[in-house]
Structure 1
Amino acid sequence: MDMRTVIEEVSEEAERLIRDQVWELTPADRRVAAKAAADLHAVVGLPEFQQSLPAVDRLEHLREALAAVAIALAHVHGRLAWFLGAAATALTPVLHWRALPAEDGRTFGAVVPAPQQYTEAEDAIRRLQTTLDGIATA
């Protein structure tokens, strides 16, 4: 399953839990979600802008987004932590990507992703950001 699909599924689950009042958001949940959403927006902007960047910059932004999710995860417990943990897990393929040539052939298993994989990861992060914005304002 691709990361965009996983993020869509966990986002739908989070939205359903909130809508059904199973997940009662705390002020801390809302604050962390708002900060994480802002951080994601800052690193993965509009598709047109991201796609105009060199691969190395796109990969840097994707890793920054994953770091923002991990930092948010470190500050919460319960359902928001579970949601962010699932999101971070879905985004982990970016940790195995590389954008630079391997001069000596050794890459610690890192691979060069296809251009559509960058787009897929960026779309997943935008979907995650939308969900976090919703959590922040619910």
Structure 2
Amino acid sequence: MISKIIFSLSTLSGVGLFLMLTQTSPNKVGPLGILILFTMVYLVFLGVISFFLYGSYRVFSIAVVYFRKGQPVVQKEVKTPGFFLKYSAALAFAPISLIAKQSTGGVGIFEILLLTIIEIIAIIYISKR
């Protein structure tokens, strides 16, 4: 169920983002429109990253089953799309923060390194919970 909600929100945000970028300008929409734009970009990245993480998990789990045909199977915990939503929520923050930093100045190696450290800390925190 959560995967359908993520897919629907991501698709609707993608359509809204396309319409907003082609039909309006930043002067017309104002601060609330820019906030909505950042929210839609976040939701699009949330859906794309969640789909990528869950899809790669499924591909690798099918490959493991295929290549271990004669060996005893070790039963592992099955991961749901909700599990990957936690990680994709943290990872979808990175493009938004890069766009925000680009609008206030410039993105250099220091900013990218700092964002990478923040993302690593977020992923470690999520994995420990």
| Max Rg structure | 2
Counting helix residues as a fraction of each chain, which structure ranks higher?
2
- Which structure would you say has the larger RCO, counting Cα contacts within 8 Å and 6 or more residues apart? 1
